[in-house]
Amino acid sequence: MIPVKGYDGQVVAVLGLGRSGLSAARSLRAGGAVPVCWDDTPAAREKAEAEGFEVRDLGRDGGFDDVTCLTVSPGIPHLYPAPNPVIARAWAAGVPVDNDIGLFFQSLGTETWDDFDTIPKVVAVTGSNGKSTTAALIHHILVASGRETQLAGNIGRGVLDIDPPGNGGVVVLELSSYQTDLARALTPDVAVFTNLSPDHLDRHGGLGGYFAAKRRLFAEGGPDRAVIGVDENEGRYLVNQLSAGRGDDRVIRVSSGQKLSGPGWDVFARKGFLTEWRKGKQVAAIDLRQVKGLPGAHNHQNACAAYAACRTLGLAPRQIEAAFHSFAGLPHRSQIVAEVGGVTYVNDSKATNVDSALKALLAFDRIRWICGGLQKEGGLEALTPGFDHVVKAYVIGREATQFSLGLQGLDAEICTDMATAVARAAAEAQPGETVLLAPAAASFDQYDNFEKRGEDFIDKVQGLMR
């Protein structure tokens, strides 16, 4: 646990008592603060009371009279589409609003660090797609190289649940826009931006607000090193904002698909090969084509970002390459579930938007594509470049018929549920083909989350082997 500093003897309110909320309350108490907690859900309030926390309705008059700070869970909107009423009351009372990420950065360093030979570091990863895989891959490479490391944030453990890092320890954080948008302290040593595509637009008031939330990770604290994906304009803009000039190697440019050149520090992947260039010279090259845990151009971008981050931490190219080959990938992200009768079954349930689904389509050939769900804004037209890889689509979701209308030019079968889709795809698939779940849609019309959807796919695939 990371005890929260700066609030000894002071009342700090906690809004939202899920994983991060309760974790924040515990860490506040460990640091000497007096947490008062609130959640709209009675069961959550009861759980907090069972741990000895005071529960207070922060929406009532006078709820903030003695409160120094309000800590908010990431799922609670604080500005768009409308501020949560409790947050609006905090504003009116002049109470600063923060989240567990801000408390973490505020509290991580201790006086014991003066005795360390090597000060611990924090690597923070954000972006639209690939941030989970990139963060997990960085952590995996560090573990494989014998470095002390912990993985937390939007993946793994809550940031305040981790152990205080030891001498030379590295904390790897995956941070969503919900987390970076509100944190009052953001001071990673290495910050990584994978890419940007439209997502969570209602929460951020549009694409500009969404990018602004991501940009805060780089603008607020000024990391020692920044690893930036430059395959979109937002990444190129960010590089320009952070670089002092063309040869500034504090910023490492990353790309999948384009060769980068110049006097700075670049890592890019083309035709399955990762290449590192620094000061106009090639430093290293790695063949990614045989790395099973990182299939496709989108995962090659993740590999480049993780490679660059680990290079800033002093790891050698050969160490990183060896770790690539032992990386099994993450559940629900290009996860190979089984190979049955020469047919490969891949679970990419995390492909909840068009951009991530397109990358999944481009990673494989001869695809039996299971898609559909709660469709997001913007339509499906951007998926068209991947249709050449699709033999047939099997559409699930309550609005499967409507979803299929956006798949013009594809042979599409309305299946509605996962069991039917997997059965039909398996019956028609030929050796050498891939049955791919890459929904290009949210899961909430049929499942609690994308993990449940992926687990259902896995269960149905495993049923084929029973």
* DSSP assignment letter at 157: B
Smallest CA-to-CA distance from 260 within 231, 289, 299 is with 231
Q: Where are the beta strands (DSSP E) in 259-418?
A: 265-270, 273-278, 281-287, 335-340, 343-347, 367-371, 390-396, 412-416
The helix (run of H) or strand (run of E) holding residue 228 is strand 225-229
* Cα separation, 100 vs 105, whole angstroms: 9
Residue 404 is labelled as binding a ligand? no
Residue 130 is labelled as binding a ligand? yes
Residue 128 is labelled as binding a ligand? yes
* Cα separation, 108 vs 91, whole angstroms: 27
* Cα separation, 412 vs 290, whole angstroms: 32
* DSSP assignment letter at 306: H
Residue 245 is labelled as binding a ligand? no
Residue 385: Cβ within 10 Å count: 10
Residue 280 is labelled as binding a ligand? no
* DSSP assignment letter at 272: T
Q: Phi and psi of 318, rounded to 5°?
A: -65, -35
Tell me the helix, strand and coil percentages in the chain, rounded to 5. Answer: 35, 25, 40
The helix (run of H) or strand (run of E) holding residue 330 is none
Max intra-chain CA distance, the chain: 68
Smallest CA-to-CA distance from 355 within 197, 193, 177 is with 197
Asked if omega into 295 is within 30° of 0 (cis), the reply is no
Q: What's the number of CA atoms in the CB half-sphere (13 Å) around residue 320?
A: 25
Paired with 181 in beta bridges are none
* Cα separation, 361 vs 369, whole angstroms: 8
Q: Taking a C-beta distance cutoff of 8 angstroms, is the pair 397, 403 a contact? A: yes
Look at the block and give the residue holding tokens 């480049």: 304
* Cα separation, 103 vs 332, whole angstroms: 30
* Cα separation, 373 vs 448, whole angstroms: 12
Known binding-site residues equal: 127-133
Give the residue numbers of the binding site for ATP.
127-133
